[in-house]
A and B are shown apart, each in its own frame.
Chain A
Amino acid sequence: MSLNVVVCVHTTNICIGNDPIQMNTNPIWIINPSDRSALEAAMNLQANYNANITAISIGGKDAVVSLNYCLGRGVNNAMHLEYDDEVSLDAYRIANILANAINDLLPDLVLCGDHGNDWNSSSVGPFLAEFLDLPQISHVTGFEIENHGRFLQTERRLERGGRQKVACNLPAVICMTEVSYQNTYVSVYRLREGSQRPREIKLISKQDEEEKSGVRLVEVSPIRTRPRRLSHPSTGLSAAQRMQFLMTGGFEKKQNVFEGPLEEGANKVISLLRESGFF
């Protein structure tokens, strides 16, 4: 039995502290946790059935993190669908791009994580199955391949600890939960090795993507400046104030939001720094 397995992975970021500036300037990129479970499931198939594993990811430089991880973990091939503005894509469009790439690979099984840590839509897998015209099972915690690679039996997690066994024919798309598999540690040396292994890069043009998905970008408005909200009551508050803080969801800290020309804004910043004693 020789299986051709595709595992879809995505890079998410985690941020140090709750400082919005640091959040944007110093993100730490990791492979999406449930995609990592999907990768582990794929690697089990490689170990037990000598399956050929292809990892696939959409995005700009951030996608490299996940692909390096997959290559370090030992997948056979990696495909980078290079698309600079991946953040603007929703689940439908991502699934569309993935389906176009996966179609050519003729997979026996497509593995995804069941949700992304960023947008948490849980819908890329189902959309992908629809585009590929394959059966799909979500929230999978484990599975077995039977009947010489033609039949798939999965176990799904239900609410309050319930379990369900669901089966379908292969090929299929399955979405793994984050806790499905004990992850294997990928050492820094293996990550380095992974980063040096070749991968297929496919450039996805915006125009092409919009044509295929039938959805186009009309306008992007800038990020709106919002007053910062404190998430913890200050220790300097009285008990009553703390209670009020918690019940109202937190005071809004007074902050000056300036809107106007750049030069005037720069002067404001300088005077603010002077007042604060920075110079």
Chain B
Amino acid sequence: MPIRQDFWDIPQPWGPIVIYSVMSITTIIMLWLWFRRINLLRYGVPVKWKDRLGLRFNNFLRDGLFQIGILRKRYPGFMHLLLSLSIFILFLGTIFATLNSHVYPFLKGNYYLVYKLILDVCSVLLVLGVGMAVYRRFVQKPKYLTTTRGAIIILLLIALIGVSGLLVESFRLAIQQPEWKSWSPVGGTLANIWQNLEVNQNILNNAYLFTYGIHLLSIVILMVTLPTGPMVHLLSAPLNIFISDPEHTMARLSPLQSRANGELIFSDGIKTLTQKQLLSALSCTNCGRCSEVCPAVLSGHLLDPQKIMLHIRESLDDVKGGSFSHPFDPQMMAQVWGCTTCGACENICPVHIEHLDIIVALRRALIQKGRINENLQKSLENMVSYGSSFGILTPIYQSWISELPFEIPDATKSSVDWLWFPGDITMRSPEYANISRMTATILHNAKINYGIFTNIENNSGNDIRRIGEEGLYDELVQRNLSLLQVGHYKGIFTTDPHTYNTLINEYPAKALMGKPVLHISQLLDQLILSNQIQFKNALGWRVTYHDPCYLGRYNKVYHPARHVLQATGCELIEMPRNKDFALCCGAGGGRFWMEEGALTERSSEMRLLEAAALQSVSRFITTCPKCYIYFSEASRSINLNETLHVADLVEVVHAAMKS
């Protein structure tokens, strides 16, 4: 009967004693190293993680164990799955073998044969996974994947474990020649090869002992390397997934942390980040996915979300005996101004790293120190004084409203169905005035009873919060809520996705008194469905649609704008990067108010070129004032304005109503 023989051909009795001793010491060292590294988290600000355990466990299973997040990219996802799954099963196999030796001998007969088959296949999958990793790192060479010496050593060790395991098995089978050797397909095949080559028994015995030693040595080295090297994510990533707030959404930033005595915490060093944020830094797998989709990286900004995580990890590892009073490197801190808060990094991260929370936390510290660029400072000071980034009100302010042939009711004086909360860009930007006028005209013609706060143009605060000016955000929210509470309206709509995001996700729900908040694309979609807006003729334009980050990736509002385009008779051709993967225009996160700095290429230009590559698309549609302004500017700068007209969704509806 097939049965597992413990320590076959290993010199007795000192062989097993040495092996057990070495493995025990290695395990103790490994556990101590794990503990020492994970224990660094104690320096962070504590976070809650013991609530909603069911949801947390669900996340852990989905993205930690089954790696659904990693599988979103096929090749590296499959490669990672092969490696992690085979390592996990081989580890389980070792545990079963130990239990079989010392607890209950269950590995016999058919059980043993299946056990052998599974381990044999897993060893092959392990080697295959390493092969795929080598191919990816050294042949494909993705631009944003950094291959460190540590990563090479780890791959080498894993390959060595897999190959030596198969060889050990083959030498043993070649010597023993059991009937069931076909249950180890690769080991058995190799054993047949040794047999056909008529390798001497002594050589086989020596080769067996040598590869056995190599196998053990590789495992020992790997075990002590895991907690200290880049493979720390093996433990920290699943932990990070478990500790992540199960209801976390990047649409709602975490509030400013405070200590028990009420002191606000501004994150300029290890001690001022939360334990979750430190764990995120330890969990970074260096996969480069965040860098690959980051508009700042693509544009040649200094910012790289992956490097920020690695910098935090290095700073954490530098902590020796608690001497970590120094803040983060100022150059690294300055990088965070390049972030457009588009959320692409967080969206793609397979291990639940909340980049935006970390970047905004660092920005908050810079704001508190007053270290910001001149343009941004002017805009913030304008907002402190006037509530609008544009500063003191000039006659431009009411230009588009005063030129309308009808009056928009003031919602503070008369009762309306919908309150238009435009935000300061819609109200004040000369570039967007024409679109605002069209919005007003469409709704007027559709006989919608809507109003506006005619003398107010407060910024909603969405981007102010993402800049890190939390205090100013609080003030703007209070100012806006005091206005919203005196107005007479049944619902709110806004033309600005940034305003939409903060209204529905960050403003206190009670203050909005349960009134619906819609983006203009949603309102137009509703009006078309209810036949309040009708089109006689189809436009027949061939268009592409750009999902604004704060509408799409943040709030998953993808379909209304597409429905509206369909209803106007436009043929929609999707860009390769669409919906969740849309490339940001570059204006979010306060970048709208900052100097551009040295860039290799604007992300707005890259996006337009992506659209221009589509066949016979004549119009580039978006539905965000900031996107509209940035893309319009970009189309002029790369001379695409003749062939690819940048238009707002409202412009399309206006044209369709006129036709």
Which A residues lie at the B interface, using CB under 8 A?
14, 16-17, 28, 30, 73, 182-192, 232
Q: Which of B371, B395, B475 contacts A188 (CB 8 A)?
A: B475
Closest 9 CB pairs of A and B: A188-B471, A184-B370, A189-B471, A185-B370, A188-B472, A185-B377, A28-B385, A187-B367, A185-B372
Task: Tell whether, in the assembled complex, residue A16 and residue B386 are in contact, meaning their CB atoms are under 8 Å apart.
Answer: yes
Task: Tell whether, in the assembled complex, residue A16 and residue B393 are in contact, meaning their CB atoms are under 8 Å apart.
Answer: yes
Q: Give per-residue flags for B380-396: 1 if the beta carbon is below 8 A from chain A beta carbons, else 0.
A: 11001110000011010
Please name the residue on chain B nearest to A16 by beta carbon.
Answer: B393
Task: Tell whether, in the assembled complex, residue B381 and residue A185 are in contact, meaning their CB atoms are under 8 Å apart.
Answer: yes
Task: Tell whether, in the assembled complex, residue A183 and residue B377 are in contact, meaning their CB atoms are under 8 Å apart.
Answer: yes
Q: Which of B462-507 contact A (CB under 8 A)?
A: 469-472, 474-475
Which B residues lie at the A interface, using CB under 8 A?
264, 367-368, 370-372, 374, 377, 380-381, 384-386, 392-393, 395, 469-472, 474-475
Task: Tell whether, in the assembled complex, residue A188 and residue B469 are in contact, meaning their CB atoms are under 8 Å apart.
Answer: yes
With A14-B392, A28-B385 in contact, is A190–B368 under 8 Å at CB? yes
Chain A contacts for B386, CB-based, 8 A: 16, 28
Chain A contacts for B371, CB-based, 8 A: 184-185
Query: What's the least CB distance linking A229 to chain B, in Å?
Result: 15
With A187-B469, A189-B470 in contact, is A17–B393 under 8 Å at CB? yes
Task: Tell whether, in the assembled complex, residue A188 and residue B374 are in contact, meaning their CB atoms are under 8 Å apart.
Answer: no
With A14-B392, A17-B393 in contact, is A185–B385 under 8 Å at CB? no
Q: Which of A28, A187, A232 contacts B472 (CB 8 A)?
A: A187
Task: Tell whether, in the assembled complex, residue A185 and residue B367 are in contact, meaning their CB atoms are under 8 Å apart.
Answer: yes
Chain A contacts for B370, CB-based, 8 A: 73, 184-187, 190
Please name the residue on chain B nearest to A30 by beta carbon.
Answer: B385
Chain B contacts for A186, CB-based, 8 A: 370
Please name the residue on chain B nearest to A43 by beta carbon.
Answer: B370
Chain B contacts for A30, CB-based, 8 A: 385
Query: What's the least CB distance linking B588 to chain A, in Å?
Result: 20
Chain B contacts for A232, CB-based, 8 A: 395
Chain B contacts for A28, CB-based, 8 A: 385-386
CB-defined A-B contacts under 8 Å, sample of 22: A14-B385, A16-B392, A28-B385, A182-B374, A183-B377, A185-B370, A185-B371, A185-B372, A185-B380, A186-B370, A187-B370, A187-B469, A188-B384, A188-B470, A188-B472, A188-B474, A188-B475, A189-B264, A189-B471, A190-B370, A190-B471, A191-B471
Query: What's the least CB distance linking A177 to chain B, in Å?
Result: 17
Task: Tell whether, in the assembled complex, residue A187 and residue B368 are in contact, meaning their CB atoms are under 8 Å apart.
Answer: yes
Task: Give the docked Cα–Cα distance between A135 and B368 (Å).
Answer: 37
Task: Give the docked Cα–Cα distance between A162 and B56 (Å).
Answer: 68
Please name the residue on chain B nearest to A182 by beta carbon.
Answer: B374
Task: Give the docked Cα–Cα distance between A28 and B382 (Å).
Answer: 11
Query: What's the least CB distance linking B374 to chain A, in Å?
Result: 7
Chain A contacts for B384, CB-based, 8 A: 188
Task: Give the docked Cα–Cα distance between A188 and B368 (Å).
Answer: 9
Give the interface centre of B370, B372, B374, B472 by most chain A CB atoms within 10 Å: B370
18 additional contacts (CB under 8 A) given A16-B392, A28-B386: A14-B385, A14-B392, A16-B386, A28-B385, A185-B367, A185-B371, A185-B381, A186-B370, A187-B368, A187-B471, A187-B472, A188-B384, A188-B470, A188-B474, A189-B368, A190-B370, A191-B471, A192-B471
Task: Give the docked Cα–Cα distance between A186 and B367 (Å).
Answer: 8
Query: What's the least CB distance linking A228 to chain B, in Å?
Result: 15
Chain B contacts for A185, CB-based, 8 A: 367, 370-372, 377, 380-381
Give the interface centre of A184, A188, A232 by most chain B CB atoms within 10 Å: A188
Chain A contacts for B471, CB-based, 8 A: 187-192
Chain B contacts for A189, CB-based, 8 A: 264, 368, 470-471
Chain A contacts for B392, CB-based, 8 A: 14, 16
Task: Give the docked Cα–Cα distance between A257 and B17 (Å).
Answer: 110
Task: Give the docked Cα–Cα distance between A69 and B384 (Å).
Answer: 12
